Structure 1
Amino acid sequence: MTSTETTRPELLGALRDAVQAGMPTTIADLSRLVRIPSVSWAAFDPTHVSESADAVAGLVRGLGVFDTVEVSRATIGDTPTLGQPAVLATRAARNGRPTILLYAHHDVQPPGHDEDWESSPFEPTVRGDRLYGRGAADDKAGVLSHIAAIRALVETVGSDFDLGLAVFIEGEEEFGSRSFSNFLAKHRRELAADVIVVADSDNWDIHTPALTVGLRGNVTFRLTVRTLEHASHSGMYGGAVPDAMLATIRLLATLHNEDGSVAVEGLTSREADTPDYSEEKLRHEAGLVEGVTSIGSGPILGRIWSKPAITVTGIDAPTVANASNTLAPVVSVRISARIAPGQQSGEAFAALEKHLLANAPFGAQVEIDDVDQGNGFLVDTSGWAVSEVKTAMTEAWGAEVVEMGVGGSIPFIAELVSVFPTAQILVTGVEDPGTRAHSPNESLHLGVFQRAILSEALLLARLNERS
């Protein structure tokens, strides 16, 4: 079989039936994973991430097709500190078949406030055609899409297939993949593959599949602004003494132009054609409230896919309930910057650091620490694997595939390419514009889920017949 050929009708039909018949088991398995609050952030209980890794390893072992299945950890940077546990499984290729590496992650974002959820974040709940819960889509559905696709392949062609398989389910993607580089070095031989599928992205809508071909990079850090040695009475000194909140607000305001576009010299943009995407569609999908306008200039998708963005994602300051009439001596904020594909994250961080130090108002002391960086990525779409996955997606969805960029970041992909330069990268996923990943009421569209599983099962079956 070549990438330009359609799948044999009997194979397509058998895989479709196997995926559909397996959906109740797949959803039950996904629900069990969602109930484990596997938040990988440092402030949360790490035993839940270990429990999640063990549960995923059990699902992988249950497939009965891998030579090895292990839960493994690697150190973070040059420290002796271990990262969160990941699951790694391998099966050697035979008879000249390619090897495919399937990636997803089993850790999740913090849930936020329970009152912002319509149902408990870690109690999977079906409402209509969607399954709600933290990690129901991002990315435990990615984990189960791999599991279910392999199950369908085994039910259709048997367990004695020739395709080489590796499964890598990471445990700290939501916390910056801090041990990822060392994990790659530790398991380079097991992770080597001809094709790498990263199931952690979006689709165009619930009816149209997408292949992600561009991702922004990211730079995140803590910014601390200090103006006083201690808090002082706002009535006695206000008007003469700059408090840290005033200085922080003034400094943060310098990061953007009047139209909301980024005003930091040295952050670059990339020119690229984008599909049509209206202001009305943006308002609906993003949830803009009445009267609020979009920011930036140029085509909307160009702003999201190919230009930098800077967001303050957290702030340490007195709460409104605990506010007293004092001048705050110090304020810290968390800044998340998305970097246009093609710009190195180190260069972007240098530009941000230079800007913040140069624009500190009133001589405020500025400190930047807890820095994470990751490069963006542009997919080479000329390889045979792209043609293979497009054929599989089109057959599974009954719709043509959209090549799209994503405003989010998956920085470890650039590391994968560096370590495995000949591997072809396919960025797929189970999400859609209504998923609300990272937000309250995150959900998975079950129809999208089934079509994503069938797409991957078809890809595996096609590669199993490719020499």
Structure 2
Amino acid sequence: MTAEQVSEQAAAWFDRGEFREVLARRVAMATESQRSDRQAQLRAYLHQEIAPSLVEMGFTLHWLENAEAAHCPFLVARRRENDALPTMLCYGHGDVVFGDDENWRSGLTPWQLSEEGDRWYGRGSADNKGQHSVNIAALQQIFHARGGHLGFNCTLLFEMGEEISSPGLAALCQQHGELLQADLFIASDGPRVNAERPTLFLGSRGCVNFQLSINARDNACHSGNWGGLLSNPATQLANAIASLVNQQGQLQVTALKAPSVSAAVRDILSDIIVAGNPGDPQTDITWGEAGLSQSERLYAANTLEVLSMVAGNPQRPMNAIPPTATAVCQLRFVVGTDWQNLVSHLQAHLVAHGFPQVEVTFLRGSPATRLDPTDPLVDWTLAIMAESSGKKPALLPNLGGSLPNDVFADILGLPTLWIPHSYPACGQHGVNEHMLKSIAREGLLIMTRLLWQLGEQGNAIVARHRAHRTPEAK
């Protein structure tokens, strides 16, 4: 059998409605990890939906508890065909954000897959049930086409807590490095650059959430009796934030700015057009770092966002000077940013600008990652994607958002290749979330051909990757 023939079989399987049937079952399971009462559903998803499809392909299952979040277990599934073959690690998460049932459009519900034109609506259809279902289906197509073999060793890692920042995932990878040992990592999450263009991204921006607060006094004071005599924490905090990021969204903290965009990254991003697609919000062309294109601002720059601000009672404002003010902010950053010293950098900047009273509290954070775009694995993957889709795929040095990619790239030391099967306007984390049928079908054909070629060329491409990484080869 050839790559073309197995792709034709995969397309026929999809067109018979079998993928839709699988996705409908999985969407129907309310696996909301943000709710403490969903433990049964989270476990059932792995036992009833994921495990059977992998056991049928001869995978050995390893059920691992989560010491940091007991309601979010892990499943590691391994299939070893031959120690002389390369090993691929794949990843998916079966948990979803809150269903937000009451706010979906009339006729839609988060727990029932609904079809309208090219759209399949349902919570998790895009993030991440639809995406990992595509990849499992591609493995099944290869397994059957090769008569019960893949042509490579395969390990799959499933978590059920990604939507609550993946508690326990890093510890799992540190403790079970031998179980998860592999030669390369291929997975799907996040969006393409747009609905029409297949995309490969090599990592993700990092993310740090932090809190800024001013606690001036214990109680509010009448603004008529004390205005002009007492400091206003809300006014002070607004000005403090303005010293961190200006009126055009440009980061003002020198120590937290992104490194200069390299020539290689600039060349990659010159081929990327962001926004301007149906369903996208209208971008502000004057917003963001000066001297950068829109794609560079999204994928190669650091951005500081104010997520929320509170002073007084916004629902019932009083004629009083609020005693405190608080803001939760976020820094999205690229590789090379000194994010681990964020608190000290912010404190030094605020003191220098006259705001020593602002307290900075680190909330949570994850590193930025990026595979070298000159790695032979990158061109190999892009060529297969182009051959399968008949389109020029987009290459992103990293996703604009964040993923737990650091556990695979840094802890496990793997080259990471992400091929998303969604698009920016999918409604991810909002109401009316949906997957495009056209992307799911195209994604299945891409992954089927890619995994077929991994079985054909795996040892050779892994050898080229290793040679590229050794100093003697450069």
TM-score range, shorter chain: 0.7 to 0.9
CA distance in 2, matches of 1:95, 1:109: 39
Question: How many angstroms does 1:313 deviate by?
Answer: 1.9
Moved more, 321-330 or 394-403: 321-330
CA–CA separation in structure 1 for the residues paired with 2:442 and 2:94: 21
Tell whether 2:161 aligns with 1:167. Answer: no
Q: SS at the partner of 2:115? A: strand
Q: CA deviation at 1:392?
A: 3.2
Q: Does 1:425 align with 2:420?
A: no
Shift of 1:293: 5.1
User: Could you say which residue in structure 1 is the equivalent of 2:38?
Assistant: 48
Describe the shift of the 1:84–1:325 C-alpha distance in structure 2 as closer, same or farther (beyond 3 A): farther
Q: For the residues of structure 1 that align with 2:310 and 2:61, how far apart are their CA atoms?
A: 42
For 2:169 and 2:127, locate their aligned partners in 1 and report how far apart those are by CA, in whole Å. Answer: 18
Q: Which amino acid aligns with 2:18?
A: T
Residue 72 of structure 2 is aligned to residue 84 of structure 1: yes
SS where residue 299 of structure 2 aligns?
A: helix
The answer on 1:364 being equivalent to 2:357 is: yes
The answer to whether the 8 A contact 2:203-2:418 is kept is no
% same residue: 20
Q: Does the alignment pair 1:216 with 2:188?
A: no
The alpha carbon displacement at 1:99 in A equals 1.4
Q: How far is the alpha carbon of 1:432 from its aligned partner?
A: 1.4
Answer yes or no: is the 8 Å Cα contact 1:15–1:156 preserved in 2: no
- Cα offsets for 1:81-114 (capped at 9, x unmatched): 6572222211113263221111122223345694
What residue number does 1:342 align with?
Answer: 336
Shift in Å at residue 302 of structure 1?
0.7
Structure 1 stretch 441-450 or stretch 412-421: which is displaced more?
412-421
Separation in 2 of the partners of 1:124 and 1:107? 16
Deviations 1:410-451 (A, max 9, x none): 453233223333x33211111213224333433221111111
Structure 1 residues 35 and 349: alpha-carbon distance in aligned structure 2, compared to 1, 3 A threshold: farther
Please name the residue that 2:470 is paired with: none
Please tell me the residue identity of whatever aligns with 1:218: C
Give distance in 1, aligned partners of 2:112 and 2:309: 29
Q: Contact conserved, 2:87 with 2:153, CA < 8 A, in 1?
A: yes
Structure 2 Cα separation of the partners of residues 158 and 173 of structure 1:
35
Q: CA deviation at 1:309?
A: 0.4
Deviations 1:220-249 (A, max 9, x none): 123332222122333332333233322322
The residue type equivalent to 1:220 in the other structure is N
Cα deviation code 1:198-223 (max 9, x no counterpart)? 31132232222111135221111233
Structure 1 match to 2:27: 34
Amino acid at match of 2:389: W
Within the alignment, does 1:414 sit opposite 2:403 as a pair?
Answer: no
1:263 to 238, 252, 259: 252
Match of 1:10 among 5, 14, 22: 5
Contact 2:31-2:45 at 8 Å conserved across structures: no
Is the contact made by 2:7 and 2:449 (CA closer than 8 Å) also made in structure 1? yes
Q: What number of residue pairs does the alignment pair up?
A: 448
The verdict on how the C-alpha distance between 1:276 and 1:188 changes in structure 2, with shifts beyond 3 A counting, is closer
Task: Please list, as runs of the form range in 1=range in 2, the aligned pairs for 1:371-450 lying within 5 A after superposition.
Answer: 371-410=363-402, 412-421=404-413, 423-450=414-441
Residue 305 of structure 2 is aligned to residue 311 of structure 1: yes
The question of 1:126 aligning with 2:107 is answered no
Q: 1:317 to 1:146 in 2, by over 3 A?
A: farther
Separation of aligned partners in 2, 1:307 and 1:438? 24
Secondary structure, counterpart of 1:188 in structure 2: coil
Indicate conservation of the 8 Å contact 1:214/1:305, yes or no: no
> Partners in 1 of 2:167 and 2:311 — Cα distance?
27
1:168-222 Cα distance to aligned partner (Å, 9 max, x none): 1222223222322211023222211112113113223222211113522111123
- Provide the rounded CA distance (Å) in 2 between the counterparts of 1:117 and 1:233: 45
SS at match of 1:189: coil
For the 8 Å contact 2:250–2:287, the answer to whether it is kept is no
More displaced stretch, 190-199 vs 151-160 = 151-160
Which residue number corresponds to residue 455 of structure 2? 464
1:185 matches 2:174: yes
User: Structure 1 residue 201 and structure 2 residue 195: aligned?
Assistant: no
Q: 1:168 to 1:49 in 2, by over 3 A?
A: farther
**155-164 or 94-103, which moves further after superposition?**
155-164
Conserved 8 A contact 1:213-1:405: yes
Cα distance, 1:61 vs structure 2: 2.4
Q: Comparing 92-101 with 187-196, which one deviates more in the overlay?
A: 92-101
Unmatched runs of 5 consecutive residues or more in structure 1? 2-6
**Map of 1:100 onto structure 2:** 88
In structure 2, C-alpha distance between the alignment counterparts of 1:248 and 1:121, rounded to whole Å: 39
CA distance in structure 1 between the aligned counterparts of 2:382 and 2:150, rounded to whole angstroms = 23
For 1:4, the equivalent position in structure 2 comes to none
* Alpha-carbon distance between aligned partners in 2 of 1:419 and 1:162, rounded to the nearest angstrom: 26
Distance of aligned partners of 1:213 and 1:160 in 2 relative to their CA distance in 1, 3 Å threshold = closer
TM-score, normalised with respect to structure 1 = 0.85
Q: What is aligned with 1:67?
A: 59
Q: Are residue 154 (structure 1) and residue 143 (structure 2) matched?
A: yes
Match of residue 270, structure 2, among 272, 275, 298: 275
* Separation in 1, partners of 2:119, 2:127: 14
1:207 and 1:397 in contact (8 A); partners too: no
- Helix, strand or coil for the counterpart of 1:426? strand
TM-score by length of 2: 0.84
Rounded Cα–Cα distance in structure 2 between residues aligned with 1:9 and 1:341: 38
SS of residue matched to 1:418:
helix
Aligned mate of 2:349, from 334, 355, 359: 355
